[in-house]
């Protein structure tokens, strides 16, 4: 988690939200982010604060992933254990053991981060991959038991277990890419991260909505608006995936469960390499702005929960957990946005196939001083806002 040292105010999209903001400011809630790990900040600072686009190295990115996600995985095990019925003793004990193992590995990662070497980090990644595989298996078994009605669910919603399994899969895939030296194009990686994080944020909004006391009508209304917003943003990102990375859609039509299936030779024929367009850049800014707005809402909610000023069954740790993930989402999307190539930049062979200018740059679309702010797309009442934003309807 990154602490930029600035106070963040709660941001809203309509007058009712502004009214709640004034109430929060009077109570002193929702002003400062919690202190982050100094070790994690030190690692992030090595590459994240430069103005020029840059890709972090193996050691830096490995530590950035481990220092964040190992803590998240440990907390997942705790949440599952607390949500299981008391009679599910074996599952509760397995969850407790996984929680301890991730906490142990997190301590080890923090020690390695003080003076890391490539060999130590490589070993850390390998152990993290193995442990994350174990918790993916555990989450899969728990989810299957729940959705097949073989155990009483307790407080573990099926979508919640699926949600935290997706996060574990994302963490493991990120580490495997580093370990194996696998590279993904900047456009494809950005869209993958958008699809992942926008769905995570939509899920969070739905969980908050269902864990609040029914009497908290204003909070429930805000959470529902965020849920709808992120559902729409994710659909927009899915459209960009098929437009700009069409090979992903074609590959999805193969049998992913068969490890020996080979991609047919004709697959990919006639399809372009992934490329960027100006509207993807604009959409990314909208997604980051929306995520930052949800982050601030979570920050305020966390402060109110800690002060016992909101009725819910959300624990302070869970509130802090989803807040940290929103901070990380903004960080990831911002970092990847910086790596985007110029709009409609094609290889020479691809360019010959096109007639005329394929598209305009963002500067051509919006003359100097007239480019709209991403907040304008999220707030139709803002000055200079587009009254009919694409992909950002509430």
127 dihedral zone (left: phi>0; alpha: psi -120 to 50; beta): alpha
Query: Residue 381's closest CA among 5, 53, 17?
Result: 17
Mean pLDDT of the chain: 81
What is the sign, positive or negative, of the torsion defined by CA atoms of 369, 373, 377, 379? negative
pLDDT of 89 over the 90 cut: yes
Residue 153 pLDDT grade (very low, low, confident, very high; cuts 50, 70, 90): confident
Query: Residue 280's closest CA among 221, 329, 343?
Result: 343
Domains and CATH numbers, the chain: 26-32+187-254+268-394 (1.20.1260.120), 55-183 (1.20.1260.120)
Residue 9 pLDDT grade (very low, low, confident, very high; cuts 50, 70, 90): very low
Cross-strand partners of 212:
312
Altogether, the residues listed in the chain come to a count of 394
359 C-beta neighbours (distance < 10 Å), count: 13
pLDDT of 60 over the 60 cut: yes
What pLDDT was estimated at residue 346? 63
Of the listed ranges 77-86, 107-116, 248-257, 282-291, the least confidently predicted one is 248-257
């Amino acid at each position: 988690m990154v602490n930029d040292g600035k106070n963040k105010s709660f941001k809203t999209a309509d007058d009712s939200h502004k009214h709640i903001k004034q109430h929060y400011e009077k109570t002193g809630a929702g002003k400062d982010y919690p202190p982050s790990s100094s070790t994690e900040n030190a690692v992030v600072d090595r590459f994240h604060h430069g103005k020029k686009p840059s890709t972090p190295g193996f050691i830096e990115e490995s530590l950035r992933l481990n220092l964040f996600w190992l803590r998240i995985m440990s907390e997942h095990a705790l949440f599952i254990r607390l949500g299981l019925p008391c009679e599910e003793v074996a599952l509760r004990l397995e969850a407790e053991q996984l929680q301890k193992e991730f906490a142990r590995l997190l301590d080890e990662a923090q020690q390695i981060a003080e003076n890391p070497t490539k060999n130590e980090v490589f070993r850390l990644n390998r152990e993290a991959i193995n442990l994350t595989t174990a918790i993916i298996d555990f989450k899969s078994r728990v989810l299957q038991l729940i959705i097949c009605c073989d155990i009483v669910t307790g407080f573990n919603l099926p979508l919640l277990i699926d949600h935290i399994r997706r996060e574990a899969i994302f963490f493991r895939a990120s580490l495997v890419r580093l370990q194996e030296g696998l590279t993904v194009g900047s456009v494809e990686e950005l869209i993958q991260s958008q699809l992942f994080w926008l769905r995570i944020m939509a899920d969070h909004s739905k969980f908050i909505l269902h864990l609040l006391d029914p009497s908290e009508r204003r909070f429930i209304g805000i959470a529902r608006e965020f849920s709808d917003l992120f559902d729409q943003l994710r659909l927009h990102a899915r459209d960009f995936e098929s437009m700009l990375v069409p090979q992903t859609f074609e590959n999805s039509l193969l049998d992913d469960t068969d490890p020996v299936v080979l991609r047919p030779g004709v697959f990919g024929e006639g399809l372009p390499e992934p490329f960027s367009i100006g509207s993807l850049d604009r959409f990314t800014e909208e997604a980051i702005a929306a995520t930052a707005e949800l982050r601030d809402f979570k920050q305020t909610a966390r402060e109110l929960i800690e002060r016992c000023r909101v009725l819910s069954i959300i624990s302070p740790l869970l509130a802090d957990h989803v807040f940290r993930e929103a901070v990380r989402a903004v960080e990831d999307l911002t970092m990847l946005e910086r790596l985007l190539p110029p709009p409609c930049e094609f290889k020479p062979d691809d360019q010959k196939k096109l007639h005329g200018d394929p598209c305009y740059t963002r500067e051509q679309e919006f003359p100097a001083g007239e480019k709209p702010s991403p907040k304008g797309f999220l707030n139709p009442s803002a000055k200079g806002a587009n009254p009919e934003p694409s992909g950002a309807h509430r």
